[in-house]
A and B are shown apart, each in its own frame.
Chain A
Amino acid sequence: MQRQVALIKQSLFDQGYLDEQFMELEELQDDANPNFVEEVSALYFKDSARLINNIDQALERGSFDFNRLDSYMHQFKGSSTSIGASKVKAECTKFREYCRAGNAEGCLRTFHQLKKEHSTLRKKLEHYFQLARQAGPKETARRPK
C-alpha cells in the first residue's frame, strides 16, 4: 500500500502537477505534525476556491478590470507556488500576461484552463492523501533537519 502511495506521488511529480516545493513541505512534516501537508493542501484549496470565485465573478461582470484581475491572480500564484502546484502556477502566469496585455479573451481562455488544472490537482491530491492515510504513517523521504 505504501508503495502504491509512493507511486502515485511520484507520478504527480512526473506529470508536472507538483514540483519540489511540495517536497519541501513534506520535509516539514514530522511526528509532531504528521498531517501537515494534507492540512496545507486543504487550506490551499479552500482559499484558492475563494479566489477562483472572485475571479469568476469579476470576469462574468464583463468589465475586465485587468488590474484587479491581475492582483487576484498574483495572490493565486503566490499560494500555488508555495504549495508546489506547478501546472496551476503556469496557468496563473499566463493569465497575468494576458491581463497585462489587456487581452480579455486570452484571460478567459486561460482561466478556464486554470480551473481545470486546479480541480484535477485537487482530485489527485485528495486521492493521494486518502491513500496515504490508509497506508498508515508513511515514511516520507525526509532529510535530517
Chain B
Amino acid sequence: MINPGSNSDPFPAGLRVLVVDDDPTCLMILERMLMTCLYRVTKCNRAELALSLLRKNKHGFDIVISDVHMPDMDGFKLLEHVGLEMDLPVIMMSADDSKSVVLKGVTHGAVDYLIKPVRIEALKNIWQHVVRKKRNEWNVSEHSGGSIEDTGGDRDRQQPREDADNNSSSVNEGNWRSSSYRKRKEEEVDDQGDDKEDTSSLKKPRVVWSVELHQQFVAAVNQLGVDKAVPKKILEMMNLPGLTRENVASHLQKYRIYLRRLGGVSQHQGNMNHSFMNGQDPNFGPLSSLNGFDLQALAVAGQLPAQSLAQLQAAGLGRSSLIKPGMSSSPLVDQRSIFNFENPKIRFGDGHGQAINNGNKQMSLLHGVPTGMEPKQFAGSSYMRVQQQITGVRPGQNVQSSGLMLPVADHLPRGGPSMLPSLGQQQPMFSTSVSRRSDLTGAVRNSIPETNNRVLPATHSVFNNFPADLPQNNFPLASAPGISIPVSASYQEEVNSSDAKGGSSAATAGFGNPSYDIFNDFPQQQQHNSKLNDWDMRNIGLVHSHQDTAAASAGFSTSEAYSSSSMQRKRRETDATVVTAHGQNQQPPSRSLNHLNHVFMDGGSVRVKSERVAETVTCPPATTLFHEQYHQEDLMSALLKQEGIPSVDNEFDFDGYSIDNIPV
C-alpha cells in the first residue's frame, strides 16, 4: 500500500516516531494509535533512554512525542535537548492543560502540545511538523546558498523575523512565503532560496550539532555579535565543509531562543568568556573549578544540548580574545594566546576526533575545532566551559569564556580571575553546566543559550576533576576524573597541562586538542599536586575556556590554587560524581547537570564567583576564543615552562589580578 517515506502522498506513512511517556498505559495506547496511522513507532518510557536512543541514532527518527511529567527528567528538558542536539520536532503532551504549561511548551520550542487523552485524529497530522521543519531548513539553505551573496547577507539581517517580507524578492516567493511563517524565528530566514516544494526533497541529511561544532558556532556568533550574527557569516566563519547555511540558520534560531530564555544574558558574559580564555588570570582559576564541575555535570548529563556547547564554545572563543594582556600574567597569556590560537586549531582537529565520539566531547569543543558536525552535543559542554571562563574572569576579566556561559562563573567569588580562566576553557564542558547554571552565571549566559547553562554545571564538574587528577595524567579523558565527561581527552590534557603549568596553562583551554603534550608536562607538576590539583581544577576550567588566555590561566592557577584546595576536595568529590555521570554522556544532561550543579555548589563557592565574574566579562569575539583555545595549550606549556611547576603557587598570588587585568 503506501510506501513509507516515498515522495508522493504516502509521505506520512512510515514516519519514524519516538514516543516517550512514563505511563505504560498511555504509551501502549499511543503506540497503537501511531501504528494505525501507519507510522513507525518506537516507544520509550524513560527520557534518558529516549535521549540515548536519539543520540545513537542520529537520523533514525523524524519526530518525537513526549510527555511533560516524567519522573526521571522533565519533559521540557528533553525537549530542549532534542531540539538542540538533533534538531527534531518535538510534540509535548500532558493531561495537564493549564495555560502555563502549554506556554512553557511553546517557549521551549515544542512544535505542538497535545492534551491527554490523545485522540488518533490529533496524531494523524503530526507529520506536518516534520514537513514544516524540513521546509524551513531548505529555505534557509537555499537562501544562503546562494545567490544572494551580499544581498542575502543583508537580507538576513533585515529579516529577523519575517522572512516573507524581505525575501519576497527572489525566486521562490511563493515558497518562501509559505515557509516564512514557519521560519518566524527571525534570524535567518533567508529568503529566497529555491523553492523546495516537494516534500520528498526534504530529506536532507540532518546535521548533528556536536559539542565541537556548536562551540565553533558559538564562537562565530560571538564574534559577529549575537544580534548581528547571520547564518551566512557564521557559516563563513566556521568554514566547515558540509555545513550549510540552513543548518546554521536553524541552529541559530534555536540558539537565540535559548539565549532569550536565559533572560538575555548579556553578551557581556560572552565577552567574559573571552577574557578567560585570554587571561589565564588567576581569576580563571576559580572558574575552572567551577567549570570543571559544570562540565562534568554536563558530561554526565549526557550530551549537552548542542546549543549550550556551542555557546560555550562561542563564549570561550569570545573570551579568549577578550582577555587582554592587562593582567599581570597577561604577558604570558598573550603569548600563550597566540600560541593557543595557532595550536588549538590543530589540536582541536585531533581532539575533536576523539572528543566527538565521546559524549563528553566537551573538551574537544574547547579546542574549538569541531571537526565533527555534532556540535549540538558539544555545544552544551562548550557552553559550559565558556561560561565558566566568564565567571572566572570576573571583573576585569571578561569572562571571555565566551560561550561558556559559565553559570558557574558566578561562583567565582574568589579570585575571580582565576576562575575565569578556567571557565573560558571549559567551554565545551561548561556548556552543559552552563546551561544549568545559567542563573548563576548570568553574565555568561549571555552567550550561551539556556542549554548552555545547563551545560555548565557539567563542565564545572569536569574541571574540577581535572585538577585533582591532572597531575596524574591518568585521567581517562580529561585528566580529571571528573572529566570523564565528554570533554574528550584533549581536554584532559589541557587540564593537566594547566595544572602543571601552574595555571599558566590554564589558558590552555584548548583542551579539546589532543594537547596531550601539555599534560605530559604535568607529571612534573604532579609533584606539586596539592597545589596543582587545586589549580587544575581551576585551571581546567580556565584552561578550557581560555585557551587563548594562556596567560590568564597562569593567573588563575595561582588564585585557583589556593582556593582550589578546599574546592579541590570538594571538587574531587563532585568530580567523581560528575565523572560517573558524565560517563554516560548521553544521559540526560539536564539531570546530571542539576546534579552537578549541586555538586558544584558545594564545592564551589568558587563557582559562584566564576559566574559572577562572567557577568562582568564581556566576550570577545568568538573566533578569537577559538583560536585562543588552541593556543592555550601551547601557551600553557609555554607558560608552564616559564613558570615552572612552582609557578602554580605563584599564580595564586595573582589571584586578584586576573580579574583586574583582564580587560573586559
Residues of chain A at the chain B interface (Cβ within 8 Å): 21, 24-25, 27-28, 33, 36, 39-40, 43-44, 47-48, 71, 74-75, 77-79, 81-84, 145
From A21, A27, A71, A79, give the contact of B23 (CB < 8 A).
Answer: A79
Residues of chain B at the chain A interface (Cβ within 8 Å): 22-26, 28-29, 32-33, 36, 67, 69, 94-96, 116-120
Return B117 CB to nearest CB of chain A, in Å: 5
Return A31 CB to nearest CB of chain B, in Å: 13
Contact A25 B95 (CB under 8 A): no
- A-B contact sample (4 more), CB < 8 A, given A40-B29, A74-B69: A28-B33, A36-B32, A78-B26, A82-B23
Going nearest first, the 3 A-B pairs with the smallest beta carbon separation are: A78-B95, A79-B25, A44-B25
24 contacts between A and B (CB under 8 A): A21-B117, A24-B119, A24-B120, A27-B120, A28-B33, A28-B36, A28-B120, A39-B28, A40-B25, A47-B24, A74-B95, A74-B96, A75-B23, A75-B69, A78-B23, A78-B26, A78-B67, A78-B94, A79-B25, A82-B23, A82-B25, A82-B29, A83-B25, A145-B36
Taken together as a complex, chains A and B put the C-alpha atoms of A18 and B646 apart, in Å, by: 76
Specify which chain A residues have a CB less than 8 angstroms from the CB of B32 in the assembled complex: 28, 33, 36, 40
From B24, B94, B118, give the contact of A43 (CB < 8 A).
Answer: B24
Nearest B-chain residue to A25, judged by Cβ: B29
Taken together as a complex, chains A and B put the C-alpha atoms of A48 and B95 apart, in Å, by: 16
Taken together as a complex, chains A and B put the C-alpha atoms of A39 and B117 apart, in Å, by: 18
Taken together as a complex, chains A and B put the C-alpha atoms of A81 and B115 apart, in Å, by: 10
Specify which chain B residues have a CB less than 8 angstroms from the CB of A21 in the assembled complex: 117
Taken together as a complex, chains A and B put the C-alpha atoms of A33 and B36 apart, in Å, by: 11
Nearest B-chain residue to A74, judged by Cβ: B69
Contact A81 B120 (CB under 8 A): no
Contact A83 B29 (CB under 8 A): yes
Contact A24 B117 (CB under 8 A): yes
From B28, B69, B95, B120, give the contact of A40 (CB < 8 A).
Answer: B28
Contact B24 A82 (CB under 8 A): no
Specify which chain B residues have a CB less than 8 angstroms from the CB of A44 in the assembled complex: 25
Taken together as a complex, chains A and B put the C-alpha atoms of A41 and B33 apart, in Å, by: 15
Return A34 CB to nearest CB of chain B, in Å: 12
- Describe A's contact surface by its main secondary structure: helix
Specify which chain B residues have a CB less than 8 angstroms from the CB of A145 in the assembled complex: 36
Return B100 CB to nearest CB of chain A, in Å: 14
Contact B25 A43 (CB under 8 A): yes
Nearest B-chain residue to A84, judged by Cβ: B117
Interface-central residue, A28, A71, A81, A82, by most chain B CB under 10 Å:
A82
Nearest B-chain residue to A29, judged by Cβ: B32
Return B103 CB to nearest CB of chain A, in Å: 18
Nearest A-chain residue to B121, judged by Cβ: A24
Nearest A-chain residue to B119, judged by Cβ: A24
Specify which chain B residues have a CB less than 8 angstroms from the CB of A74 in the assembled complex: 69, 95-96
Contact A81 B28 (CB under 8 A): no
Taken together as a complex, chains A and B put the C-alpha atoms of A75 and B26 apart, in Å, by: 10
From B22, B36, B117, B120, give the contact of A82 (CB < 8 A).
Answer: B117
Q: A27-B120, A40-B29, A83-B29 are in contact. Are A71 and B69 (CB under 8 A)?
A: yes
Taken together as a complex, chains A and B put the C-alpha atoms of A81 and B67 apart, in Å, by: 14
Return A14 CB to nearest CB of chain B, in Å: 20
From A28, A33, A39, A81, give the contact of B95 (CB < 8 A).
Answer: A81
Contact A81 B33 (CB under 8 A): no
Contact A79 B28 (CB under 8 A): no
Taken together as a complex, chains A and B put the C-alpha atoms of A83 and B117 apart, in Å, by: 8
Interface-central residue, A28, A39, A48, by most chain B CB under 10 Å:
A28
Q: A43-B28, A44-B25, A75-B22 are in contact. Are A81 and B69 (CB under 8 A)?
A: no
Nearest A-chain residue to B67, judged by Cβ: A78
Taken together as a complex, chains A and B put the C-alpha atoms of A83 and B26 apart, in Å, by: 8
Q: A24-B119, A84-B117 are in contact. Are A47 and B23 (CB under 8 A)?
A: yes
Taken together as a complex, chains A and B put the C-alpha atoms of A71 and B119 apart, in Å, by: 23
Return B360 CB to nearest CB of chain A, in Å: 31
Specify which chain B residues have a CB less than 8 angstroms from the CB of A36 in the assembled complex: 32
Specify which chain A residues have a CB less than 8 angstroms from the CB of B26 in the assembled complex: 78-79, 82
Taken together as a complex, chains A and B put the C-alpha atoms of A40 and B33 apart, in Å, by: 12
Taken together as a complex, chains A and B put the C-alpha atoms of A79 and B28 apart, in Å, by: 11
Specify which chain B residues have a CB less than 8 angstroms from the CB of A84 in the assembled complex: 117
Contact A82 B118 (CB under 8 A): yes
Specify which chain B residues have a CB less than 8 angstroms from the CB of A75 in the assembled complex: 22-23, 69
Specify which chain B residues have a CB less than 8 angstroms from the CB of A78 in the assembled complex: 23, 26, 67, 69, 94-95, 116
Taken together as a complex, chains A and B put the C-alpha atoms of A21 and B94 apart, in Å, by: 15
Taken together as a complex, chains A and B put the C-alpha atoms of A130 and B396 apart, in Å, by: 77
Taken together as a complex, chains A and B put the C-alpha atoms of A27 and B520 apart, in Å, by: 67
Specify which chain B residues have a CB less than 8 angstroms from the CB of A82 in the assembled complex: 23, 25-26, 29, 116-118
Specify which chain A residues have a CB less than 8 angstroms from the CB of B67 in the assembled complex: 78
Return A137 CB to nearest CB of chain B, in Å: 18
Specify which chain A residues have a CB less than 8 angstroms from the CB of B95 in the assembled complex: 74, 77-78, 81
Taken together as a complex, chains A and B put the C-alpha atoms of A38 and B452 apart, in Å, by: 46
Taken together as a complex, chains A and B put the C-alpha atoms of A72 and B237 apart, in Å, by: 50
Taken together as a complex, chains A and B put the C-alpha atoms of A27 and B124 apart, in Å, by: 14
